[in-house]
Structure 1
């Protein structure tokens, strides 16, 4: 069973470096940004959303553990008193396909409820059919490109 543990500063630094690159690639693949501007724009976006990194208020950045081994990350933000938003969920490539993302999504619903949330939303890039399929199976409803689920 997976476990969610809040990131420390060292884990956050590794996360942010990787996340900026991944986000830039996704924005280019989706046709939103061109290659030349993508890293700069991704850095600006992360700086805006997480101005003080893992200590940014109303943001919960987790390392996903399985048997005490880090297998991925999840970022949940409080958007209002009762609503959360998953900005990022990522399972390391070598651990994909084993149900860890599904387990993680179940765990974050428990965490969301503990934080007083009754709804969690997320964004999925249109070209990410695997993720869309998972979220739909878990009960998330499509609202434009955003998906959300009552929890």
Structure 2
């Protein structure tokens, strides 16, 4: 039995609602967004990416199912992205539920994502990780992921601006 199983329609709606909340929170914590309006911005971003929700073309949603007990321990959102120069599976979300973390489920999901990529003739797996998420960065480094670009920001204190 595969660890990643297609996400059910009843599971999708609450998953995507919680994802919007977490996406807004992460962007605020990273300093990319102001708290005010962050949830509506997250909703707008995700709705733009998923105009047909669960049925959006080239987007795949999975539940991580613990094979022994058939319990959902996490979720994965992938997108197949092809261009004239390369093909990529982009991991939009890989989330292990808090009570199941540090048990190897994320590594198992990443291995199955590699299998998914191979069956779709994909040559790259990409993802974004926030700079404050050291645990995720460590995991991805252990699994062979390399940084290919780094976004940088300098906060400007308005009281320090000289007019």
* TM-score range for the pair, normalised by the shorter chain length: over 0.9
- C-alpha separation between the residues in 2 aligned to 1:145 and 1:102? 23
Query: What is the match of residue 92 of structure 2?
Result: 87
Structure 2: any 5+ residue segments left out of the alignment?
152-163
Structure 1: any 5+ residue segments left out of the alignment?
147-151
Deviation per residue, 1:126-145 (Å, 9 max, x gap): 00000000001111011124
Q: Map 1:1-151 to 2 at 5 A.
A: 3-67=3-67, 68-80=70-82, 82-145=87-150
- Any idea what SS the aligned residue of 1:32 has? coil
TM-score by length of 2: 0.86
TM-score by length of 1: 0.92
Runs of 4+ in 1 over 2 A off after TM superposition: none
Highest RCO, 1 vs 2 (Cα 8 Å, sep ≥ 6): 1
Asked which structure has the greater CA Rg, the reply is 2
- C-alpha separation between the residues in 2 aligned to 1:112 and 1:57? 16
Is the CA contact (8 Å cut-off) linking 1:2 and 1:100 kept in structure 2?
no
